[in-house]
Structure 1
């Protein structure tokens, strides 16, 4: 279990920084309420996943080294994204395995890397942040959160303590939403078909709120729902746990 005052570095992620900074602020709020000392290294950049997924190993390795250098002085690294977390935890050690200087440093950092809800529930022992929200929600498990970071029970355990919130599980909650980083750009028709199937399962639950822990998935699904005229709101789980639901939902920012 986490020692009081542990120094945690927040890996903000590119999408959060550029499109939804409120998720970063929510993450800081939650970590501080859990008793952590939080820093946000200014030298952090992209985790390198887009380059890695596109086969540009040299750029991915350069970004991996930069990230390791920026974050290795902290007790833990936490990301409000299973996707970026998975890149750091699993792919950095593989990318730098043959580098005698950086390989061990990447492996050491990977061992201290966690997805946000996973860290709060399993390392900090948190269960209730005192959040309240009258809403009927469903939860989408992102591919990376579920398969690389093994995150499934943590967000649900935390949401179970949100006063007024009802959770209904969708069918195939672990099915890909079609985002897949560069996949949605390279194969838009396939991506749209996958998103349509996911949206259909969301609608079948009767929920008025879709939650997840990865902004890429949420932006992809929010865009599809908006094009389809859906009234289902889309939010990151951190915003709900932190009580930051007075902000416009994802995909509705331009309408505020």
Structure 2
């Protein structure tokens, strides 16, 4: 009987402490709220950033009014950034977030590891594309050679297909929807040809050859703008 209090104390020390069960849920919900808030801020910043880049490109086109090919490329990139790149970036970033959430929710299910790998590869392709686009836009705005910056902007689209933009693609809802190989290869060849025209225009002296290659770049940008223009107008209403 003398050892009963001592045994009770040692048993109490050996017993693991009971933690509240709701603490992990609160932490995860708080983290999800932080991620959602950050994503909402990014969605609001992207259109402003692309709009500012477009305004800077238009301003530079006025400075290059004595060089029509360079001025035309600046205007084409300005329209492409506002009408095509900004909505596409927002859609793809939302797709990245939803794909990551879906992969985390299904990580314990069959094929969960593969889904998580696909979501990470898709995020890497989208981030690299955005980084290359902005590097090209800044190079066009601040640099002397407009065509080198245009080649970087357009090269982001070509590199997108090589870094997982096709076989790791996810749609707007975060579902895994890869692009067929033949389609991705065709688009990549076209994008690479346009990048080549921009680089050839950069190497040519002022004249008909530079004007021709610049017109190809402007036409390619115009096609991308016309493709996204109806959707952009519907969202603006």
Rg (Cα) greater in structure = 2
Query: Do the structures match in fold with TM over 0.5?
Result: no
Higher strand share: 1
TM-score by length of 1: 0.27
Higher helix share: 2
